[in-house]
Amino acid sequence: MLCVTLQSYNAPCQTTTGGVSDIWVYDPADFNWTQDATTKSYTAVAQRVGAETGKMYQLKFERKEAEFKFKQSKNGCSIKYEFDVDARLPNLSQELTNYLSSLDSAGCCCGLGLVIRLNSGKIFVIGEKYVNSNTIPYFEVVMQDSEGSSGRNFEGFNGATVKFKGEYSRMANEFTGDVAVIEAFQ
């Protein structure tokens, strides 16, 4: 006879989701993030005095076609995180050319900041420059290794896969504030 003792779960069941819901691009010099001393997560963001634009630009991409990846490596006590954010933008066009040119210019000038909201609802920030009104160690996100295609046939993908890359000495910080705060800067 087989005897089994079962233990019930205390946690409520909920769906598990992957993928990226939204991506915003911003100038790191335009924003100051407030970091909680205990949790180390960001709790608020404000436009800095004298900010050039003070805007966050939402990246419109094909649904279910974006991913946020990281890779951690260690050399002695030196730790490095590499971030990749990939999103598919439909339709090769002049509008896409202008958009990619703007991202190239911004990345070369001051680096890019990214706010990434996952389908789970968690929001991550990379490329930030000011935290609690202090300049943090330099971190640059650039658009790199993007690629596109007209598609081989009528069903083939016509558009570009835009890739953002960055290196940092720590994992991305989570923003625990409401997404409405980010949306207000659009």
pLDDT along the chain (186 residues), means of 10: 60 72 93 96 94 87 91 92 91 87 78 92 94 87 88 85 88 95 95
Element of type H or E holding 20: strand 20-26
**Single-letter residue type at 34:** T
pLDDT of residue 53: 80
pLDDT of residue 102: 84
Which pTM value belongs to this model? 0.84
Whole-number Å distance between alpha carbons of 135 and 101: 28
pLDDT of residue 101: 86
Whole-number Å distance between alpha carbons of 72 and 113: 20
Nearest to 65 by CA among 111, 108, 23: 23
Whole-number Å distance between alpha carbons of 51 and 5: 62
Nearest to 177 by CA among 10, 31, 69: 31
